[in-house]
Structure 1
Amino acid sequence: MSCLLLLAALVTFVSASPLPVNTESSARRISSSPSNFAQSAPRPRLVKVLTNLLKVNLTNILSAPDPALALGRTLSGSDLPDPVSSITSSPNPLTNTDSPLPLPADIRNTIIQKTTMYSGAAYCPSVEAGNWTCGMLCDANPDFNLTSNGGDGSSKQRWFAGWNPTTKEIIVARQGSDFSHLLTFLYVADFLPQKLNAEAAKTFSRLPNSSRASSPQIPVGPLTNNLSSPLTGPSLADYAVVNMGFQSAWSQTYSDIKTQVQALLEAHPDAFRVFVTGHSLGATIAVLDGIALRNVVPTSVQVEVSVTGQPRVGNPVFAALLDQLVQTPAENFVYHRITNHADIFPHLFPLITGYQHSSNEIWIPTANSNFSTPAVLCPGKENQNCALSQVLSLTMTEHAGPYFGHYVGVPADCRA
């Protein structure tokens, strides 16, 4: 857990001495990972990062003129400058202080009725077995027809898909983190960047004003020095990078998801929406699902991504492109992520490592929320008046909820 502990410390900006971690034992744990993960996330990269983590002194990092650059150099083992330094032409603030807005009732109802219920059901053994019998999580949407499911909870995150004739929606739900499996930990811990997969990049590339020349001020992040080749190309999407572990987890099953969604679209030409949801690691996968599916689902059918407990997925370029996708009416794309009070997971991986949330955060500002608890819609990226205001009191205990009174990923809620 050395990687996550250090990153948690970075989130809360606490100065400390280098962590006394046994690199040899960490390397042994990584070496025992299954071969299919090793193919998509080479073990030497992760061993290199774990080794360099031992060199990190937070006091030195945070006192540097450019902490992000200092951390990037330490983690990459390179003295090369941040690649963005040669193309930055104007400031691009990574956070904002805009006033939060009251959460609209329709979005609240979506979260309560669909987001928490479908994403919670993705954790249930009965749903994994192909049965829509999981107590209140399934009863909330009784007309839903479960048509397919997959994954093994280890090398492939579990998922299910189906059709709701009442709402005219195709549903895709992703299971979240299960740290009883080593591979899940590695998916989360491998925070080095990787170029955005071509299927998702294709969606971004067709957006208006998506050339790199139109937005030279958007940082690519210091950890891009770890990439095997420099970022080049005319499109802004060519400079979008994402968390390697998250993308590796997504790539294991996306082709199955795409096939099922296309089959459901053919079977239900009256489909109004493809609704994609997930929690924790499942939330990051759901975001990539939604972006890639937008390229194969007709724009007459809305794609909506609604997730809970989502860590940061990509760099500022990725965040800007996701914002543009939402803001382009012709794309018919909706996205929001719900953060529960002081949940630590949405703060991984920290801004200082070159990752950034996109806009459309919904924040529940109090612990132990219920159906009537006020929540806010947070304008802009990384709003300091929302989840970022909790960086000194982050906790893992609020990761499962409650989200307006409902927990996600709690086995007891799966009982029929």
Structure 2
Amino acid sequence: MPSYRASRLCLSLLALSTGAHALSVPFAPDKRAAAATAMTDAQMAAIKPYVFYESATYCRASTLVPNWNCGAWCDANPDFKPVAAGGDNSGTQPLRLVEGFVGYDPKTQEVVVSHQGTDLRSIEQLIEDFNLVFTNLDSTLFPGMSSDIKVYKGFQDAFKKRVSATDTLAAVQKAMSTFNTKKVVATGHSLGSAMALLESLYYHLNLPDANVRFFGTGLPRVGNQAFADFIDAAPLSASFLTNARDIFPRPAPERQENGDQHCSVGEVSLLHQNVSAHNGPYGGINIGNTGCNIPN
């Protein structure tokens, strides 16, 4: 098992006030004040398929659909059934996503929606990442939400601009019907992780019969305490993994993170954080386009 500190169990709920939900192998309870524990090989194995899905979003959409042949990242989940993808900015793809895709994993019997992280070449995305002004959830996308629940404007703007909610929902519904499943997981890295969290809430509200969950890596803080409390209380599983020296989850104040000394907040000061740690390793995998035949 890797000895790097990112392998510590800092995977947790948004508010870290209750136990983290399992992917396919139960994770140990993890509270804000709880000590981090080393992740087991079984827990690492449960996470890896989703890290590969996140990595595949950095590949050209045309290599994801109609054939799943993007390279090493696709080969890691060889049985995946792609349904739709987007992000080439060519106008020819069926989804307007921030580089992402929808499909079905026959091993876990769930629909997977995955989003790429921030494109450092995009000034607009960088501005969205650091627009840390709280705002109410859009009532059209998230009806019936309390006005006490706030999210960072940049992440909601990115979700609204870069994810066609109705188109993606239709693709998810198509996959659920085609493969006869009610399980849906939204996943992503960095900015894609923030959007995947908002998307999982969107599915929770718009797919009442679905079993929805979220898993992300490099997740920045998305909302206020009321938002985190709502996610904790909602019947959806929400968990994420932060690399110990990752600087990008840190800019938002009062991050709701485990304070154990082995986790990113408890251990690493701003002076000792590492930009490159944002891409991993997560379970030994560095997220990016290195495993793509044709990168985005």
Question: Counterparts of 2:237 and 2:141 in 1: how far apart (Å)?
Answer: 16
Alignment pair present for 1:238 and 2:174: no
Scaled by the length of structure 1, the TM-score of the pair is: 0.56
Unaligned runs of 5+ in 2: 1-30, 91-95
Which structure's relative contact order is higher, taking Cα pairs within 8 Å and 6+ residues apart?
Answer: 2
Q: For residue 108 of structure 1, what is the aligned residue in structure 2?
A: 44
Of 195, 215, 239, the residue aligned with 1:306 is 215
Separation in 2, partners of 1:202, 1:243: 18
Residue 260 (structure 1) aligned with residue 146 (structure 2): no
Q: How does 1:77-156 map to 2 (within 5 A)?
A: 96-103=32-39, 106-112=42-48, 114-125=49-60, 127=62, 130=65, 131-152=67-88
Structure 1 position 200, deviation (Å): 6.2
1:157 aligns with 2:60: no
Q: Cα 1:109–1:172, aligned 2, differ >3 Å: closer, same or farther? A: same
CA distance 1:195–1:402, change in 2 (3 Å): same
**Partner of 1:196 in structure 2?**
137
For 1:405 and 1:415, the matched residues in 2 are separated by 20
The corresponding residue for 1:362 is none
Task: Report the Cα offset of residue 261 of structure 1.
Answer: 1.0
Q: Equivalent of 2:241, from 335, 338, 348?
A: 338
Q: Out of 215, 228, 234, which is 1:319 matched to?
A: 228
**Could you report, residue by residue, the CA deviation over 1:350-405 in whole angstroms, capped at 9, with x for unpaired residues?**
22xxxx43xxxxxxxxxxxxxxxxxxxxxxx4424321121241110111111121
Indicate the residue corresponding to 1:401 in structure 2.
280
TM-aligned CA deviation for residue 164 of structure 1: 2.3
Amino acid corresponding to residue 309 of structure 1 in structure 2? G
Q: Does the CA-based 8 Å contact 1:153-1:178 persist in structure 2?
A: no
Task: Give the SS at the match of 1:239.
Answer: coil
One-letter code aligned to 2:53: Y
SS of 1:323's partner is helix
Pairwise CA distance, 1:156: 5.4
On the 8 A contact 1:199/1:292 being kept in 2, the answer is no
Shift of the 240–152 alpha-carbon distance from structure 1 to 2, 3 Å rule, reads farther
Structure 1, unpaired ranges of 5+: 1-94, 206-236, 326-330, 358-380
Once the two structures are TM-superposed, the CA of residue 128 in structure 1 deviates from its matched residue by: 5.9
Residues 208-241 of structure 1 show CA distances to partners (whole Å, capped at 9, x for unaligned) of xxxxxxxxxxxxxxxxxxxxxxxxxxxxx32111
Tell me, in whole angstroms, the C-alpha distance in 2 between the residues paired with 1:290 and 1:412. 28
Q: Which residue among 164, 179, 200 is the counterpart of 1:290? A: 200
Percent identity reads 30
Bigger helix share: 1
Can you list the C-alpha shifts for 1:130-183, whole angstroms capped at 9, x where unaligned? 342122211111111111112357995122101223332111000110021221
Deviation at 1:129, TM superposition (A): 6.1
Report how many residues are paired.
Answer: 253
Structure 1 position 298, deviation (Å): 3.7
Letter in structure 2 aligned against 1:284: A
Q: Does 1:414 align with 2:295?
A: no
Assess if the C-alpha contact under 8 Å between 1:163 and 1:170 holds in 2: yes
Aligned to 2:238, the other structure's residue is in SS state: strand
Q: Which of structures 1 and 2 has the bigger CA Rg? A: 1
Matched residues in 2 for 1:255 and 1:186: separation?
Answer: 25
Distance, in Å, in 1 between the alignment partners of 2:214 and 2:176 is 17
Judged with a 3 Å threshold, the aligned counterparts in structure 2 of structure 1 residues 189 and 290 are, in CA distance, closer, same or farther, namely: same
Please identify runs of 4+ aligned residues in structure 1 that moved more than 3 A.
101-107, 126-129, 151-156, 199-203
Superposed, 1:51-90 pairs within 5 Å as none
Q: SS of the counterpart of 1:109?
A: helix
Which residue pairs with 1:7 in the alignment? none
C-alpha change, 1:249 and 1:152, in structure 2 (3 Å) is: farther
Shift of the 145–96 alpha-carbon distance from structure 1 to 2, 3 Å rule, reads: closer
